[in-house]
């Protein structure tokens, strides 16, 4: 059996999502789902913070990148995440819970958790 070698940026993204999930678990959140796709886009992680459902965008950048991980979350990306979250809620939650949109930004070795960023 042959396997395709993933591009370095995809490997970095997968590693970033694993780090982000571990970080959120260490902060007391529980991971509900990951890599949720819709026709609008993808949500990296969905977590629970108490009664709040948290949609998490994970952005990873190498140390010294010209654009920070946080700055790479464009208005267009935010709109895709919102639409995907709405599709997820319509499918999985007839009575939608309180929700929040967070980001985990990984710049090199530093992790920053931005709560309620959009």
- Domain ranges for the chain: 30-114
Helix, strand or coil, per DSSP, at residue 85: helix
Fold of 30-114: Trna Endonuclease; Chain: A, domain 1 (3.40.1350)
Write out pLDDT tens, residues 31-61: 999 999 999 999 999 999 999 999 999 999 8
Give bridge partners of residue 76 from the DSSP assignment. none
Provide φ and ψ at 117, rounded to 5°.
-75, -20
Half-sphere exposure of residue 1: CA atoms within 13 angstroms, side-chain side = 1
CA distance 51 to 10: 32
pLDDT (mean) for 95-111: 95
The predicted pLDDT at position 1 comes to: 56
Q: What's the pTM value of the predicted model, to 2 decimals? A: 0.91
Contact between 103 and 116 (Cβ < 8 Å): no
Walk across the sheet containing 99-107 and list its strands.
Answer: 30-37, 42-49, 52-61, 99-107, 110-114
């Amino acid at each position: 059996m042959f396997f395709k070698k993933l591009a370095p940026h995809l490997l970095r993204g997968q590693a970033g999502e694993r780090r982000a999930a571990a970080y959120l678990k260490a902060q007391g959140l529980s991971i509900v789902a990951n890599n949720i796709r819709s026709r609008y886009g993808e949500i990296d992680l969905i977590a629970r913070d108490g009664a709040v459902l948290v949609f998490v965008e994970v952005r990873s950048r190498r140390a010294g990148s010209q654009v920070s991980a946080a700055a790479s979350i464009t208005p267009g990306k935010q709109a895709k995440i919102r639409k995907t979250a709405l599709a997820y809620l319509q499918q999985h939650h007839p009575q939608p819970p309180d929700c929040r949109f967070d980001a985990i930004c990984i710049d090199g070795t530093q992790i920053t958790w931005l709560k309620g960023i959009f």
